[in-house]
């Protein structure tokens, strides 16, 4: 469950950075400078990595449940 907490924290950091970045650079759809584009990439990395780390334990729980289900059907 530590990975879920780490993933949640990374997503929250990404969200906070997104809010701060948009207040600083403006709420425009496309980046207006290289600095804004770099910040966008950093925020995306936080979101993607945090989401992947958050999902991985859930995926293993699902695999274990399917394995138990298949093992119980053999008998």
pLDDT of 1 strictly over 80: no
Burial of 75 (0-12, 13-18, 19+ CB in 10 A): exposed
Over range 8-31, report the average pLDDT. Answer: 94
**What is the mean predicted confidence (pLDDT) over 3-23?**
94
Cα 7 to Cα 22: distance, rounded to the nearest angstrom = 23
Cβ-Cβ contacts under 8 Å for 39 (sequence gap 6 or more): 17, 21, 25
pLDDT tens string 25-75: 999 889 999 999 999 999 999 999 999 999 988 888 888 899 998 888 765
What pLDDT, on a 0 to 100 scale, did the predictor assign at position 75? 58
């Amino acid at each position: 469950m530590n990975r879920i907490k780490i993933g949640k924290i990374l997503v929250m950091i990404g969200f906070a950075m997104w809010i701060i970045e948009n207040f600083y650079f403006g709420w425009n759809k496309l980046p207006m400078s290289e600095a804004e584009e770099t910040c966008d990439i950093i925020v995306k990395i936080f979101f993607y990595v945090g989401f992947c780390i958050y999902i991985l334990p859930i995926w293993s729980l699902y695999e274990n449940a399917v394995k138990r289900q298949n093992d119980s059907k053999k008998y």
